[in-house]
Amino acid sequence: MDPYSAEGELINIHNHFLQGQFQEVVDFDTSSFSENNALPARILQLRARIALGQGQEVLGEVKGAKEPELEAVGALAEFSLGKTDSAVSTIEKLAVSAADNVTVEILGGTVLQAAGKTDDALALLSQHSGSLDAVALIIQIYLYQNRTDLALKEVSAARRWAQDSLLVNLAESWVGLRVGGEKYQQAFYVYEELAQAPSTSSIYSLVSQAVCELHLGRTEESQAALEEALKKDPTYAEAIANLLVLKAVTGQDTSELTESLAKAAPKHDFLTTLEAKSDLFDKAAAKYKAKVSA
């Protein structure tokens, strides 16, 4: 039985993780879990700690571990610390020796995709045997590739065998935000329910709700959700970036937010893309000279 299923004992700690409630994952009492689920629960807690910026501590804890799951966690921790080459090397070795291990597939796919090795990530993830987490990551990669058609197929297939799963609802919302139209509203309902309930709310669900609101043209509501997220964590880069976009769309000054984003995440995709586009514009503009008549 899938330990993350509705009948599995890991469903609550897993849902906390999916909802971005990482501190709740770390604090979760796992003492009553069965022996078979002790390691999967520990993996979730270690991943949550990495997400909370404790990669160095996690790396120290798993150093020298022989279990492929913990080796994969170590690689993820290394990647979070900027040690990309070492992380990728570890995952590539595990992809040969333990490709059928679901933790290796998920964390390995995460590291490889983040390192720009998309084909390798998909090849590893495609070896999963009924893992919704692997399917969700495949969907994210397809969306990154602008292959919405393939992402839709994965969501539809997953919906048939995991109908009531939170992860399927989230994945469907990711795809819905790419498809647009009435799908914006459907995605909004999912994120609003998560963001507004105290037991499920997190800065991640608040930002996701705000993105839906922005797509629906509800800029005031979107700004309120983003500002609420920033009250919880003033350095959360995704909230800053989306508030920056909102202010640009509504004609407000963005200079202060741009500086804040540069401090919080100097290599954020928004900033690197903006810099690249600015360079292209400057190169194009340099080809033309203004003609001034006497």
Domain assignments of the chain as residue spans, ordered by start: 180-266
In the chain, DSSP assigns E strands to: none
- Cβ-Cβ contacts under 8 Å for 99 (sequence gap 6 or more): 105, 124, 127
**Tokens standing for residue 180:** 């647009």
Phi then psi for 167, rounded to 5 degrees? -65, -35
Q: How far apart, in whole angstroms, are the C-alpha atoms of residue 47 and residue 77?
A: 8
pTM: 0.90
* Helix residue ranges, H only, 31-67: 35-51, 55-62
Residue that is written with structure tokens 């009492």 in the block: 29
Topology, domain 180-266: 1.25.40
pLDDT at residue 227 in the model? 96
Sequential pLDDT tens for the chain (294 residues): 455 665 689 999 999 999 999 999 999 999 999 999 999 999 999 999 999 999 999 999 999 999 999 999 999 999 999 999 999 999 999 999 999 999 999 999 999 999 999 999 999 999 998 899 999 999 999 999 999 999 999 999 998 888 778 999 999 999 999 999 999 999 999 999 999 999 999 999 999 999 999 999 999 999 999 999 999 999 999 999 999 999 999 999 999 999 999 999 998 999 999 889 988 888 888 888 666 655
pLDDT at residue 193 in the model? 95
Question: Which residue in 181, 189, 127, 178 sits closest to 155, CA to CA?
Answer: 178
pLDDT at residue 286 in the model? 85
